[in-house]
Amino acid sequence: MYTVNTTHDPTLKSWVQSANAPGAEFPIQNLPYCVFQQPSGPPSIGVGIGDQILDLRTCAGSGLLSDPFVQVASQPTLNALMGLSTGDQSQFRRLIQSLLTENASAKKDNIEPALVSQTDVKFQLPCLIGDYSDFYASIYHATNVGSMFRPDNPLLPNYKHIPIGYHGRASSIVVSGTPIHRPVGQLSPTEEGGNPSRAACQLLDYELEVGCFVGRGNDLGSTIPINEAEEHLFGLTLLNDWSARDIQKWEYQPLGPFLAKSFATTISPWIVTMEALAPFRCAEFTRPDGDPQPLDYLTSESNSNSGGVDLQLEVFLQTAAMQQQGMDPQMLTRGSFTSLYWTLAQMLTHHCSNGCNMRTGDMLGSGTVSGLARDSRGCLLELTWDGDQANAVPGTQRTPIELPTGEERKFLADGDEVIIKGFCESDSHRRIGFGICAGKILPAQEL
């Protein structure tokens, strides 16, 4: 478990002035990792500081890093760094912070050449993601969606015992900014016993999620006990689990969602480390009286007391017309990562509880982060659903979202851009941002 330490001291400042601005996403207390490319350069790993990136490959080449970090910092992905012990990861964090701290300005002249403006680079996926599993950890989301797909049976009996999850598609994970073509797929027959059609998805949705990267993995046949799970979590990213609701409805029985999800999953370029998040850990979700206790293998004191992350999440929409008219994106969802019924540690421990092996760089999706309040619902399927109308999936009985252009949305239209933001803040620590996870919908391609 990471504890709050000197690297979180809110009075620390950087000689990179943009990091010290009030509300800056990437102050010296954050130090999120990324992989980026400069024009005509190879991919490098970097650390976000203010509006800059500290190029770790350059640092390694300039003698600013010591072993074993020189080797790790010269890789084209973060996997080697992510596979270090938590002790080595902490040491690396302190080293980076010392390079960037205001009072280390004697070195500033050596370090400044390793800074690159964030606007001058192309971000890449931060690591090789071997396997991606997606969970379903918000009980509000599960209940809302269950009400639509199974009105008489919204929350299944296993939900309060198992962190429900399924295997996702790793190949189609893309980094923020990658445009997403509206998928084409099979849609339900319009009458019982009729034939389905093949058409462009009409009910295209986003899902507000958080992705969690595995640091050190485990061997096949071994487990990760709940008390050790936090040591295997490297950091978090923002995730949009794009969803084709009409394709999903027709295909998902009996083996679960497949092509409704696999056309694209977008993540933000930044991994905010669990260590940076230490000041924002909180107790797990408070289960209502009468809910069952999780089984022993999913229970530990530290998980109960500090298994949560007080991370605030926001989703914005900007249509093509809004962009043309210079209007700011409109907020659709304002949610909290504390609304999840299951903690990240529980998801990881459960995932490995059958002996399944995790590899460094594997990603766990939280599932759609939805809260109790209507404006905290994490996808359009829930947001535009009028809860007293059963079985609203086909999209007819929906309350559309009204936009300042006079446009309405029940689901996403071509040209819409969805932008997810996330941040942690408290009275006693510097605010920490996650950057953005954005993607614009392009028209369907030829069938």
Determine if 390 is a binding residue for a copy of itself (CB under 8 A).
no
The residue from 150, 324, 387, 404 that contacts a copy of itself (CB under 8 A) is 150
The residue from 255, 286, 288, 396 that contacts a copy of itself (CB under 8 A) is 255
Applying CB under 8 A, what is the total number of residues that bind a copy of itself? 70
The residue from 27, 48, 50, 165 that contacts a copy of itself (CB under 8 A) is 165
Distances (CA, A) of 300 to 154, 225, 227, 246, 292: 29, 10, 6, 40, 15
Residue 27 or 183 having the CB closest to a copy of itself: 183
| Edge-first strand listing for the sheet containing 52-55 | 115-117, 52-55, 44-49, 33-37, 122-124
Place of tokens 């239209």: 413
* Tally of CB atoms within 10 A around 181: 14
Determine if 39 is a binding residue for a copy of itself (CB under 8 A).
no
Q: In the stretch 218-247, what mask flags binding to a copy of itself with x, by CB under 8 A?
A: --xxxx--------------------x--x
* Tally of CB atoms within 10 A around 401: 16
Q: Minimum Å distance from CB 149 to a copy of itself?
A: 7
The residue from 257, 269, 308, 365 that contacts a copy of itself (CB under 8 A) is 257
Distances (CA, A) of 113 to 15, 45, 50, 377: 14, 15, 16, 44
What is the four-CA torsion angle of 376, 291, 232, 100, rounded to 10 degrees?
Answer: 40
The residue from 17, 66, 85, 161 that contacts a copy of itself (CB under 8 A) is 161
Place of tokens 């008390």: 227
161 given a catalytic annotation:
no
Determine if 256 is a binding residue for a copy of itself (CB under 8 A).
yes
The residue from 162, 282, 320, 413 that contacts a copy of itself (CB under 8 A) is 162
Burial class (CB in 10 A: 0-12, 13-18, 19+), 385: buried
Range 320-359, binding a copy of itself (CB under 8 A): 350-351, 353-359
- H or E segment to which residue 251 belongs: helix 245-251
Residue 146 or 335 having the CB closest to a copy of itself: 146
Q: What is the CA radius of gyration of the chain?
A: 22
The residue from 8, 141, 232, 351 that is catalytic is 141
290 vs 193: CA distance, rounded Å: 43
The residue from 54, 60, 259, 393 that contacts a copy of itself (CB under 8 A) is 259
Which spans in 44-136 are helix H? 56-61, 69-73, 79-82, 86-100, 108-111
Q: Minimum Å distance from CB 167 to a copy of itself?
A: 4
Interface region with a copy of itself, contact rule CB under 8 A, candidates 12-20, 155-163, 232-240, 304-312: 155-163
Name which of 239, 266, 261, 230 is nearest 248 in CA terms: 261
Residue 220 or 331 having the CB closest to a copy of itself: 220
Determine if 295 is a binding residue for a copy of itself (CB under 8 A).
yes
Length of the chain: 447
**Where on the chain is the footprint of a copy of itself (CB under 8 A)?**
130-131, 133, 136, 146, 149-150, 156-158, 161-162, 164-172, 174, 181, 183-186, 189, 192-193, 195-198, 220-223, 244, 247, 250-260, 262-264, 292, 295-297, 350-351, 353-359, 362, 445, 447
Active site residues: 141
